[in-house]
């Protein structure tokens, strides 16, 4: 019985991973300890030590592995093969499963704790930059998202050089507020610190708010200077310069003056981003403005066409009258007139055709606005602009031919008539010539002398006038050529996009960003905003504008738009996000002032 009991106990130990040395002595002691699968009074020890895997209280430790149990089983095979109690084996299996379950549970809990610790470390929200000003640096715009992830919903947009206030940082994302939009943006697209300070100086918008009931505006920074108007409490004026105790400001009509700085509050603003709802409203307003511009342009073209038709009618009447007058010109002159007339007719026909093409292109552009295809709107508008330019070119050719043929006809007829008169009736010529003298009996020789003297005097006067004209032209040619070069450079970007806050001539710019970048190409530095550009350079009367001059338009009492005059009553400007950079009539809206930076 004793041997059988020992063998049963050994089998149990092997089942639960307890190694029993074949050389160790096995003893039983009645100490009241309990082990699963054994009687309440059974305890196993090897030598004088408690077996590994059993605590003093009878619980099972989990330090023993399956590999160890397997090795022990191999080593103890002979001792356990005689007989095995089925009840003891089942109990050992239950204990093994219990040990495995406890071990797995502990490992799972440890892994979960580590994961939670890592997540907490990744989600640290840093507020050390809270309140700091930063500026977007991008080609077009940056999306503002609801979460610090590219999977977050887009809630707004921030354009190049727009300002943001940093609320905090989460990883490589900033939480920012810009205008009415709040959300997360990628930190890599924003300038901070000294770089942000430098940008702030160029994009700042300074405003003076009047805090007196009434405040005089002076022509100069002095109380003794002439007053040009008065502003009132709560009026806001854009400040273009701060000179000691005086501020140079822009009035509602676009003129400039000085106010005493002691009677105004001074604030600095920066352009900010917009919510998707604000963007939608802005695009709607720009579209309505575009439609108004198109209508005004169409009206101007109609008026120009009516004026052209009136000129054509007047020219036809003149030709009819000339046909009823006896011809005195030579055969050579008549032949030249016929050739010129034929070329002019062809040019006028080309004008009619070009105008009809333009009308069809404009009609297609108008129809495109009723469809949902935004790209179609851009394409048809570009075609209309090209057609209109072709029309203007045709008109220019016709006008040049008309002018050239008129000049040739007058010169040839005068020369031929004079020669005929001189040859045919010497007496008549003499009488005519001597009407300018006091001696009516002057003979042919005297007449000839008088004519020679007169001709010589007129030639000298003509040469002197020509010399004076050439000198004047030379003195202004270099500057006017630069202005035209600026205009020619600017028009090559027609069709490129309008981007609010942008300064790229190819990827997008707003009105003042467009003019700033165009002038920068010629080494001319001008300020960033339309209002501040309107205070620089040299003032030019609207009746004396030349290609390369800047024209300014007001809205709500302040400068709101700038365009570059390119000559022939036209401007090139970054108009709206719907139209991009386009060519328009300079008076599509009423300009309030003009400035020249290139002379």
pLDDT digits (tens, 9 = 90+) for 193-251: 999 999 998 888 899 999 999 999 999 999 999 999 999 999 999 998 988 899 999 98
pLDDT above 90: residue 565: yes
Q: Average pLDDT, stretch 18-46?
A: 39
pLDDT above 60: residue 354: yes
Q: Whole-angstrom Cα distance, residue 123 to residue 171?
A: 8
Structure confidence by residue, pLDDT tens digits, 282-326: 999 888 888 888 888 888 888 888 888 888 888 888 888 877 765
With bands split at pLDDT 50, 70 and 90, how would you rate the model's confidence at 66? Answer: very low
Q: Look-up: residue for tokens 């979460």?
A: 147
Nearest to 220 by CA among 252, 190, 260, 162: 260
Cβ pair 164, 178 in contact under 8 A: yes
Bigger pLDDT: 43 or 19? Answer: 19
Q: Average pLDDT, stretch 580-587?
A: 91
Structure confidence by residue, pLDDT tens digits, 235-277: 999 998 988 899 999 988 888 999 999 999 999 999 999 999 9
At 446 the pLDDT is 38
Bigger pLDDT: 397 or 445? Answer: 397
With bands split at pLDDT 50, 70 and 90, how would you rate the model's confidence at 399? Answer: low
DSSP code of residue 141: E
Q: For the chain, give the percent of residues with pLDDT over 70.
A: 61
With bands split at pLDDT 50, 70 and 90, how would you rate the model's confidence at 140? Answer: confident
Nearest to 537 by CA among 526, 545, 546, 547: 526
At 353 the pLDDT is 84
Cβ pair 204, 163 in contact under 8 A: no
Bigger pLDDT: 359 or 156? Answer: 156
Alpha helices in 324-425 (DSSP H): 331-368, 374-424
Structure tokens at 421: 């008169």
Q: Which residues are catalytic?
A: 511, 561, 573
Q: Average pLDDT, stretch 80-103?
A: 45
Q: What is the mean pLDDT of the chain?
A: 72
Cβ pair 156, 274 in contact under 8 A: yes
Structure tokens at 123: 């989600």
């Amino acid at each position: 019985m004793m041997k059988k009991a020992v063998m049963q106990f050994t089998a149990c130990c092997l089942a639960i991973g307890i190694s029993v040395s074949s050389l160790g002595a096995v003893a039983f002691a009645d100490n009241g300890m309990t082990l699963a699968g054994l009687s309440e009074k059974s305890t196993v020890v090897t030598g004088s030590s408690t077996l590994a895997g059993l605590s003093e209280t009878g619980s099972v430790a989990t330090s023993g592995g399956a590999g160890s149990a397997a090795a022990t089983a191999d080593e103890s095979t002979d001792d356990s093969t005689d007989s095995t109690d089925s009840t003891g084996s089942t109990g050992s299996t239950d204990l093994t499963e219990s040990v495995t379950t406890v071990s797995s549970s502990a490992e799972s809990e440890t892994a979960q704790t580590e994961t939670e610790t890592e997540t907490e470390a990744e989600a640290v929200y840093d507020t050390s930059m809270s309140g700091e000003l930063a500026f977007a640096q991008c080609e077009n715009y940056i999306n503002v998202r609801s979460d610090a992830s590219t999977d977050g919903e887009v809630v707004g947009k921030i354009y190049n050089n727009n300002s943001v206030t940093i609320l905090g940082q989460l990883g490589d994302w900033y939480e920012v507020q810009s205008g009415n939009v709040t959300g997360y943006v990628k930190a890599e697209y924003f300038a901070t610190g000294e770089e942000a300070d430098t940008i702030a100086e160029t994009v700042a918008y300074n405003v003076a708010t009047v805090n007196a009931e009434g405040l005089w505006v002076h022509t100069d920074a002095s109380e003794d200077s002439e007053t040009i108007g008065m502003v009132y409490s709560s009026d806001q004026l854009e400040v273009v310069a701060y000179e000691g105790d005086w501020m140079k400001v822009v009035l509602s009509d676009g003129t400039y003056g000085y106010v005493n700085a002691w009677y105004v509050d001074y604030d600095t603003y920066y352009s900010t981003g917009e919510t998707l709802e604000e963007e939608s409203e802005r695009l709607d307003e720009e579209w309505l403005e575009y439609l108004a511009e198109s209508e005004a342009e169409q009206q101007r073209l109609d008026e120009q066409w009516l004026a052209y038709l009136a000129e054509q009618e007047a020219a036809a009447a003149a030709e009819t009258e000339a046909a009823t007058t006896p011809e005195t010109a030579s055969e050579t002159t008549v032949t030249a007139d016929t050739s010129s007339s034929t070329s002019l007719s062809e040019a006028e026909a080309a004008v009619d055709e070009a105008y009809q093409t333009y009308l069809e292109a404009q009609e297609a552009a108008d129809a495109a606005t009723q469809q949902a295809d935004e790209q179609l709107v851009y394409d048809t508008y570009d075609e209309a602009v090209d057609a209109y330019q072709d029309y203007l070119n045709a008109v220019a050719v016709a006008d040049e031919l008309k002018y050239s043929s008129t000049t040739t006809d007058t010169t040839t007829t005068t020369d031929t008539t004079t020669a005929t008169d001189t040859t045919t009736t010497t007496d008549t010529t003499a009488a005519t010539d001597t009407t300018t003298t006091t001696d009516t009996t002057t003979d042919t020789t005297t007449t000839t002398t008088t004519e020679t003297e007169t001709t010589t005097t007129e030639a000298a006067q003509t040469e002197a006038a020509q010399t004076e004209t050439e000198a004047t032209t030379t003195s202004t040619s270099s500057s006017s050529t630069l202005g035209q070069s600026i205009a020619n450079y600017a028009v090559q970007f027609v069709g490129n996009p309008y981007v609010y806050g942008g300064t790229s001539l190819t990827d997008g710019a707003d009105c003042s960003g467009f003019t700033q970048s165009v002038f920068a190409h010629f080494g001319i530095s001008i300020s960033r905003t339309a209002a501040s550009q309107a205070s620089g350079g040299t003032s030019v009367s609207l009746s004396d504008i030349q290609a390369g001059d800047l024209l300014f338009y007001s809205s709500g009492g302040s400068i709101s738009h700038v365009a570059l005059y390119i000559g022939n009553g036209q401007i090139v400007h970054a108009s709206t996000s719907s139209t991009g950079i386009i060519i328009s009539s300079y008076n599509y809206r009423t300009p309030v002032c003009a400035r020249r930076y290139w002379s």
